[in-house]
Structure 1
């Protein structure tokens, strides 16, 4: 442990002159990063009121992790009103989403510190956390070692290990094992994730399987599908909305090729493509046009639009979940190409019948459970995708039945937040 910390900081010292030399050029190319960098170095940290019970510091890397953290932040504010909640994110997009989603439930939203020893020490001193909670990922040696040295327990929640991550952890086990051992407890999403951690050499005493925080979403009336959609034309009764979430290069071609025939047979079908990287939105508009479609950007539509083209490209952050609420069919991207897939729980929560391809390795346990509950379809290729979608378009009762099964699967795991709160209380 000691040697790893020394080696890590020695490498930082050796590389520092080069990084300082390159920094002005980076900031000239990305002027918007200047303020963000200053904050990540500890400048202008916001003031917030410390409650007598102490401070809980929650960290989420970016957009996906912020979404996962929402039920936890909401529950902590409700159950532990005497504590100060500080929430950090690493990326600018994550911070923007956190300000909108997490802001009402926490006392401050701050940038995550750069993992430079003096910077990390400054953050820990100013925040003075009683507990540090990391959501899913973003492991940094100096922060974890300093938290441990300061006597601050670190807790991982919603932990998961993809096949790709597992290969990296095994290859660089001398680095990752001491890092993971800085946590007092690692709470994993599935038994498979817990078993993977054990194979890495983490003691079973440090591991718990608590489920996925996205299963902890509220089941109240505000989840009804009649809530207004941000783009009203997509919510018209005569529209049938297919939302393709977190798509990757190569998948959009398959989907658009299928939709060329699908839309010609069913004029009411509208497809919303949400690329995993929203900076590809312009590229996808051109791709859709190459297939003969008129396509529009989600951000450019207004409620006054008289019509919506058959393809909408989602170029905004944080709106995919809202679109799943109104979707008639959901496709989970990263699965028709070998990208490991993405989390289907958001679509399941909104009663969507779900399709995904054969490459769901990163969510294999959820995939298997959804298939076993008959709340999803696995398709092998574009032809199978088109065949299943055609069937669902023709059979609204089947759509509702499969969607209900997916939602029931989620509902049965709704005690996830209770387990997390009980665990967190053990450290306070």
Structure 2
């Protein structure tokens, strides 16, 4: 650890000009820099709330992890109403999503500190955590060391180790094995993930498979934004909406070709194109216009109330789930290119029939469960996608049954949030001092 901090400090000094340039020229770094240093805290943030009681700290890296972790934070606040619950994210987009979704549900939303002892010490001194729960990923040596020295339990929840991540960890197994053993508990999503964390060097006595948070997603209740989407995007019962969510560069051409082909036989079909990175919206609108289709940004439609065009391009964060709720068929992006796919349970939450491409390696277990239950269809190209859209929209009962099966897969595998909250509750209890008391300690139930 002294070597790590020495190298970290040297690297920070040498890269200082680049850091300063990045802070000045990058909006994301400029907005997050002082907060991640621990110099400032977002407003509103009541530090006094954390002086009277030690907090429960839930952390998620960015947007995807944040969405997985939100139900856990809400559950913990309901379970421990008198104890402060704080939520942190590392990225600007993740922080913005958490702030918008969690403002009324937790006692504070903050940025995760940089992995420097000075930054970590400041944030810990304000938050005074009794336990820290890191969701999915974001492993930092100083953070783990600082918590361990102060006997603060740290749980790595909903842990997932992809094949690519495993290769990187094994390349430096002497380092990551040590880091993995710093966790009080590691809770992998599946037995495959469990075998991978053990291969890196985790202590098997502190590894418990508790399931995947993504199965605990619930459809959010209709809110003001949803009602506005509905008024603008679904003006008539004859309209059909095909949504392509979290698409990557190279996929939109395929989606557009499939949409145009399907529209020849599906009257009133419209496309919602939601790129993984909303900044690509302008380029996608140009791509759509080249295909002689009318198009508009979602943000402008919400402002002006203009009639829906052929293709609606999503140009902001946080809208995807509400748009899934209004759609008839969903394609999950990142799967027709080598990106590992995205979460197919998001549309399944709304009982939608789900399409995805052949590369779902990041969601292999989930996609396989959906396919086994005939709740999803794999498409390899525009022709197969168009055929699937046509078939599903031509027979509403088939589409409905497929969506219900997808929702059934989600319901059958729920429970990871509850099990993780039970484990956090166990870590909050004082150490057992005698054998008779230990018999009453909460059990941790693993999935087999």
- Unaligned ranges ≥5, structure 1: none
Kept in 2: contact 1:88–1:109 (CA 8 A)? yes
Q: Are 1:23 and 2:22 matched, yes or no?
A: no
Kept in 2: contact 1:356–1:377 (CA 8 A)? yes
Q: Which residue of 2 aligns with 1:305?
A: 305
Kept in 2: contact 1:161–1:362 (CA 8 A)? no
Kept in 2: contact 1:234–1:270 (CA 8 A)? no
Q: Pick which of 361-370 and 284-293 moved more.
A: 284-293
Kept in 2: contact 1:52–1:83 (CA 8 A)? no
1:229 shift after superposition? 5.1
Hey, what's the Cα distance between the residues in 1 that align with 2:178 and 2:137? 16
1:306 shift after superposition? 4.3
Q: Pick which of 253-262 and 210-219 moved more.
A: 210-219
SS at structure 1 position matched to 2:302: coil
Structure 1 residues 304 and 411, CA gap change in structure 2 (3 angstroms) = same
Q: Which residue of 2 aligns with 1:66?
A: 66
Hey, what's the Cα distance between the residues in 1 that align with 2:99 and 2:136? 19
SS at structure 1 position matched to 2:205: helix
SS at structure 1 position matched to 2:187: strand
Q: Which residue of 2 aligns with 1:85?
A: 85
Q: Are 1:100 and 2:100 matched, yes or no?
A: yes
Hey, what's the Cα distance between the residues in 1 that align with 2:8 and 2:360? 37
Q: Which residue of 1 aligns with 2:413?
A: 413
Q: Which residue, 2, 6, 15 being the options, matches 1:10?
A: 6
**Deviations along 1:34-77, whole A, 9 cap, x unmatched?**
35211111113342413755211111111111111111111111
Q: Which residue of 2 aligns with 1:206?
A: 206
Q: Are 1:394 and 2:394 matched, yes or no?
A: yes
Hey, what's the Cα distance between the residues in 2 that align with 1:293 and 1:275? 18
Hey, what's the Cα distance between the residues in 2 that align with 1:206 and 1:235? 50
1:413 shift after superposition? 2.2
**Deviations along 1:133-155, whole A, 9 cap, x unmatched?**
10111111111111111111100
TM-score using structure 2 length: 0.89
Q: Which residue of 1 aligns with 2:330?
A: 330
Q: Pick which of 210-219 and 106-115 moved more.
A: 210-219
Structure 1 runs (4+) greater than 6 angstroms displaced = none
Q: Are 1:368 and 2:344 matched, yes or no?
A: no
Kept in 1: contact 2:275–2:281 (CA 8 A)? yes
Hey, what's the Cα distance between the residues in 1 that align with 2:24 and 2:282? 25
Hey, what's the Cα distance between the residues in 1 that align with 2:190 and 2:317? 27
**Deviations along 1:162-181, whole A, 9 cap, x unmatched?**
22212222222222221221
**Deviations along 1:319-339, whole A, 9 cap, x unmatched?**
111111111111111111121
SS at structure 2 position matched to 1:270: strand
**Deviations along 1:161-213, whole A, 9 cap, x unmatched?**
22221222222222222122111111122222112212223232221111222
Hey, what's the Cα distance between the residues in 1 that align with 2:20 and 2:370? 50
Hey, what's the Cα distance between the residues in 1 that align with 2:108 and 2:314? 29
1:11-410 map, 5 Å:
11-30=7-26, 33-45=29-41, 46=45, 47-50=47-50, 54-218=54-218, 222=221, 228=227, 230=229, 232-236=231-235, 237-302=237-302, 305-410=305-410
SS at structure 2 position matched to 1:267: coil
Structure 1 residues 289 and 163, CA gap change in structure 2 (3 angstroms) = farther
Structure 1 residues 6 and 106, CA gap change in structure 2 (3 angstroms) = same
TM-score using structure 1 length: 0.93
1:32 shift after superposition? 6.2
Structure 1 residues 92 and 48, CA gap change in structure 2 (3 angstroms) = farther
Hey, what's the Cα distance between the residues in 1 that align with 2:303 and 2:393? 26
1:30 shift after superposition? 2.7
Root-mean-square deviation over aligned CA pairs: 2.0
Kept in 1: contact 2:353–2:375 (CA 8 A)? yes
1:223 shift after superposition? 6.6
- Unaligned ranges ≥5, structure 2: 429-448
1:348 shift after superposition? 0.9
SS at structure 1 position matched to 2:161: coil
1:218 shift after superposition? 3.9
